[in-house]
Amino acid sequence: MAKQFDSIEEAQRAFIARQRIFFTASAAPGTRVNLSPRGTEAFRVLGPNAVAYLDRTGSSNETAAHLLADGRVAVMFCAFEGAPRILRLYGRGQMLARGSAPYRSLLSDAFGGTDPRGTRQILRMSVDLVQTSCGYGVPLFDFVGERESLDRWAEAKTDEDLEAYQRLKNTRSMDGLPTGLFAD
């Protein structure tokens, strides 16, 4: 049976810390729903009602467009090993532009001041609801390791190459919404 909480409790924080993957879901009125998997090495619980993750360059930037248009976001963790469990965080998010003062401050405070090559922004989320459920239907998987493909791809690019790719692929959503990635 699902249980709801006003904030992230310590046991839930520990559950998040043990996970290897999370999923981010977002949408805006009149758009497709976006659901993206991400590795937890870039995820941080900032407090009982705040989380953040480093958002790396990808083939699109749907979450940023949806947050700019609507603000709603959900994050889900599933136990793929051990006891079954699903944990969802609901709330509102915003993207912090790479190099901005809020980005640099959060990068320093929560991520040791270092961002992986190709990081394009940080998603900061204000959590207003935490929901847990049984996860009985989630299959068991063995963790083999992190993929190095994105790191290798970003390392092979110059700063100019990364910006050109982001301008080509990350400034508009698939539904044509602006992502706010570049101020110009």
- Where b means 16+ CB within 10 Å and e means fewer, 10-22 reads eebeebbeebeeb
Spans of the chain below 50 pLDDT: none
Burial 149-164 (b: 16+ CB within 10 A, else e): ebeeebeeeeeeebbe
Boundaries of every domain in the chain: 3-135+144-169
Which tens digits make up the pLDDT trace of 81-126? 999 999 999 999 999 999 999 999 999 999 999 999 999 999 999 9
Residue carrying the six token digits 């190095």:
148
Please name which of 77, 60, 53 lies closest in space to residue 133, comparing C-alpha atoms: 77
Fold of 3-135+144-169: Pnp Oxidase; Chain A (2.30.110)
Place of tokens 């692929």: 169
Tell me, what's the pLDDT at 15?
98
pTM check: above 0.85: yes
